[in-house]
Structure 1
Amino acid sequence: MIDRTFFEPDPRIYFRDLFVSLFVFLVAFVWGLGTTGPLVIVPWALAAAFLARAGIFGHEISHRPNDARLKTFYWVWHLTVGVVTLVPTARFAEPHRIHHTTGIFGTRNDPQYLLVRSNKALAFFVLVVLPFLTPIYTLFQVVVASIGGIALEERLDRFTQRVFNFSISTPLPEKRKAEVTWLSRLYLLAFGIYAVLLPEGVLFYYAVLVGAWLIIVLRIPLEHELVAHAETSSRQDQMRDSFTVETPLALLIQPIGFRYHTAHHMYPGAPYHNLPALHAHLKATEPGYADSIISYWSAMRGPRPAARAGAVPPPAEPGTSS
């Protein structure tokens, strides 16, 4: 039985960690705007790293959007980090809820279980191309939602799916659609003001967003096997097919508790600041849990040899035999 204290969020810790990240991001961003030449890479790297760290709190929010204890934090995040990233958390919450659902996790219906280890083309797109496209895509979503609300976005999505077999949207809960619309208009206004007042800073802003998204996508192969889809999944699969990297080096691209990914998948209701203690508890009491703990090198190299039962091999790449 897991103690309920593991599931109690502490808003003070949330605000402390968020404000530290925002402060470093802002200092580095302003520094970068006034810097030219090769030295600009230093403030760029700092701004990107700490924007990614601040942005990952959106993942925390998506797991407890209705928690009254974090209501103020919810809006502070959306009116600070959200303005910079152009992403309301509601756009992420539903696909992520599906990803955590036992029975769907790790299957073809899991929108966040990307086979980047077995599909080289997908790996290149996700880990190299996607960070450059995401800032443009999120701005596009903000523009569309600002003009015609989520209804226009859904009409465009139906059109692109019908004509191009390609989706430009993510499912949104009905109760969040109005919120996403007015947040999008606020974000577009803020972006417009920035672009008008500091047109020379738009390229640096884009570069920082690319760097932040690069950090976020690089953690994807460190968290699951991502070799083949399964027909279904059990609660045990949430443990077996999730990695934990204990080395502090993982903090570089897995901040805010992400390196304790096994504990997170077993108990997604536990806030990030309780994951180290929950990890220690599971390590001492849960049979098989320690098998999910791997080195940084092992996480980058590939999954454990014992693949999950019921996995469906990915389709062969063109020109290869199945």
Structure 2
Amino acid sequence: MTKSLALKVHDDAPAATPASARIKLSGVPDDRAMLRAAAELTRDLHAPNPRIYWTDMLLSAGIGYAALAATILAPSALLAVLAGAVAVLALYRASLFIHELTHVKHALLPNFRLGWNLLVGIPILVPSFTYEGVHNLHHARTRYGTVEDPEYLPLALMKPWTLPVFLLAAVLMPVAMLVRFAVLAPLSAVLPKLRRVVVAKYSGLKINPAFERRAPEGELRSQWFWQELGASVFSIALLALVATGVIPLRDFGIYLAVIAGVAVINQVRTLVAHLWENDGEPLTVTAQYLDSVNVPTPGFFAYLWAPIGLRYHALHHLLPSLPYHALNEAHRRLSDALEEASAYHKANYPTLRGLMHRLAASTMGAR
């Protein structure tokens, strides 16, 4: 079956585009052969493997917290820096399971959301309700790349100063989240007007400042309540322990620095997850795919900055429900089955550095 797909002529596929050239996204037709192949060749890959999820998450979190403790207790600055780097990378990997939680069917991973929130989400101040109900809008066909997309800004078309501001926001994220949960959460519980603002503006991991979130409904409402309560209790307790001297200010600063490091790496990855070249028009699925990025070339560095399958971000936009551990096999099948004229091959890029250079060059051209 795969070989028959490979022999199809893609009359409706976009013409080849140099990797450095800006792609005209509006009006790009769907590559129907690619979409059909993506559906047909991956039917057996959609079931998440609980053993992989739990083992990966627990090991990542365990290594991360052990390295955080080692950073605090390190006898020298060099050892502290080395342990801190390990803590950032391990907790970064553990934190990215929040992305999987927005797509997986929770009945297939019993208690994983609860376990992740208790072990990772609440301690690093990003409980899953901040992403669930937000990220799925980024995948909505009529929202992607528009003003209604919470996770999209046309960064490639914006001014050069937007990139350092984008990264600075990540540095300040831990402090902002402490304020959100230790101050705004309890105050908004008794002030309805403030609550509406907190829900709309300060309850979602987003990059589009114009996006306003709606109040949660159904199961998410219950999840939101308990997760926000847990994050609020944790944040208040943490600040109280610091204020009373139980937790030394130095140790608290290291904790904030590690979380900030996690946020900065994630922000850098976000910068290269898309080309950010859409000007606000609704796009076809193929155009959305072409505005997204795969970095399939194997390498140790890629596994550090884009773990949990995120180096296949364009493929993820084709198949959002595919578990992270299946993306490599899905990419192999589609690469073998689809000829070079397919749009599938046009979203593959070799390196993080090249993507950052492309984005920076685009912003310089937008001056």
What is the TM-score when the length of structure 2 is the normalising length? 0.74
Q: Secondary structure at the match of 1:79?
A: helix
1:235 aligns with 2:264: no
Question: 1:172–1:275: structure 2 CA closer, same or farther, 3 Å change rule?
Answer: farther
Question: 1:53–1:63: structure 2 CA closer, same or farther, 3 Å change rule?
Answer: same
1:281 aligns with 2:333: yes
> 1:236 & 1:246 partners in 2: Cα distance?
19
> 1:274 & 1:242 partners in 2: Cα distance?
19
Give the share of equivalent positions with the same residue, in percent.
26
Q: Match for 2:356: what amino acid?
A: M
Q: CA RMSD in A?
A: 2.9
Show the counterpart of 1:198: 247
> 2:143 & 2:176 partners in 1: Cα distance?
27
1:299 aligns with 2:338: no
Q: Secondary structure at the match of 1:224?
A: coil
Contact 2:200–2:214, Cα closer than 8 Å, also in 1: no
Runs of at least 5 residues in structure 2 that lack an aligned partner in the other structure? 1-39, 203-208
What is the TM-score when the length of structure 1 is the normalising length? 0.84
Show the counterpart of 1:226: 276
Superposed, 1:259-278 pairs within 5 Å as 259-278=311-330
- 1:246-276 Cα distance to aligned partner (Å, 9 max, x none): 2322212101000011110100000100111
How many pairs were matched up? 303
Q: Match for 2:271: what amino acid?
A: P
Question: 1:153–1:168: structure 2 CA closer, same or farther, 3 Å change rule?
Answer: farther
Runs of at least 5 residues in structure 1 that lack an aligned partner in the other structure? 306-312
| One of 43, 47, 50 as aligned partner of 2:83 | 43
Structure showing greater Rg: 2
1:20 aligns with 2:53: no
Structure with more helix by fraction: 1
Question: 1:193–1:76: structure 2 CA closer, same or farther, 3 Å change rule?
Answer: farther
1:187 aligns with 2:243: no
Superposed, 1:1-322 pairs within 5 Å as 1-35=40-74, 36-64=76-104, 66-119=105-158, 120-127=160-167, 129-143=168-182, 144-149=184-189, 151=192, 153-157=194-198, 170-174=213-217, 175=221, 176-189=223-236, 191-192=238-239, 195=242, 196=244, 197-200=246-249, 201-247=251-297, 248=299, 249-286=301-338, 287-296=342-351, 297-302=353-358
> 1:9 & 1:193 partners in 2: Cα distance?
40
Question: 1:284–1:216: structure 2 CA closer, same or farther, 3 Å change rule?
Answer: same
> 1:202 & 1:295 partners in 2: Cα distance?
39
Question: 1:295–1:3: structure 2 CA closer, same or farther, 3 Å change rule?
Answer: closer
Contact 2:199–2:215, Cα closer than 8 Å, also in 1: no
> 1:4 & 1:76 partners in 2: Cα distance?
28
Contact 1:90–1:172, Cα closer than 8 Å, also in 2: no
Give the drift of 1:192: 4.1
Q: Which has the higher contact order (CA 8 A, sep 6+)?
A: 2
Contact 1:116–1:227, Cα closer than 8 Å, also in 2: yes
Contact 2:286–2:343, Cα closer than 8 Å, also in 1: no
Question: 1:264–1:160: structure 2 CA closer, same or farther, 3 Å change rule?
Answer: closer
